Amino acid sequence: MAVINWIRKDLDMQMKQDHTRTPPSTRSSRRVFLLGGGALLLGAGGWWGLSRHRPTHEGRILSVAQAHKDAQTGEILLLDIRTPSEWRQTGIPEGAVPLDMRRADFQEALRALQVQDPGRPVALICAGGVRSARLTRQLLASGFEDIIDVPEGVYGSTAGPGWLSSNLPVRPWTG
């Protein structure tokens, strides 16, 4: 009888443990879910990190302070290549000419501006340095010379605080 009671206790103990234990199939699917979710987060983080890095180019760069100074003295033609809605929101950096980079005739408009003052370098500024770097690379590849990138942009980037945070003057856009 003692043996039977001992076996019953052992079986009862095993039954209780089996109810609290997670079945192997649930553990496997949970592990796959967690690993998949982790991989997704790592991939998204990597994409975000890479998208924040400016494209590289062989052109020169200027800080926003130097771009402002050079635009005021006429040493450079400073182009704000952002969109009209961005100009409306923040204004245009003082000394900059607004020229939306999305215009179909952007290169022709740029050439027309250069004809007015040949030999003057052109500096490009956007919101955070990504578009200006890409456009600098494109223009240099298209045969334009002396194109300068202002990588800080209006809002700032990894290159620096930007036009607005540097408290440089802006003028309203009324277009």
In terms of Cα–Cα distance, which of 59, 51, 82, 65 is closest to 162? 65
- Report how far residue 68's alpha carbon sits from residue 62's, in angstroms, rounded to the nearest whole number: 10
Type and span of the H or E element at 80: strand 77-80
Overall average pLDDT of the 82-92 stretch? 98
How far are the Cα atoms of 53, 64, 71, 79, 82 from residue 155, in angstroms, in the given order?
Answer: 15, 11, 18, 15, 12
Q: What are the residues whose beta carbons fall under 8 Å from the beta carbon of 141, sequence distance 6 or more?
A: none
Q: What is the pLDDT of residue 50?
A: 47
Residue 79: predicted pLDDT: 98
Q: Which of 130, 146, 168, 162 is nearest to 76 (CA)?
A: 146
136 falls in which pLDDT band (50, 70, 90)? Answer: very high
Rounded CA gap, 168 and 162, in Å? Answer: 9
The pLDDT confidence band at residue 55, using thresholds 50, 70 and 90, is low
pLDDT score recorded for residue 117: 86
Supply the DSSP symbol for 54: P
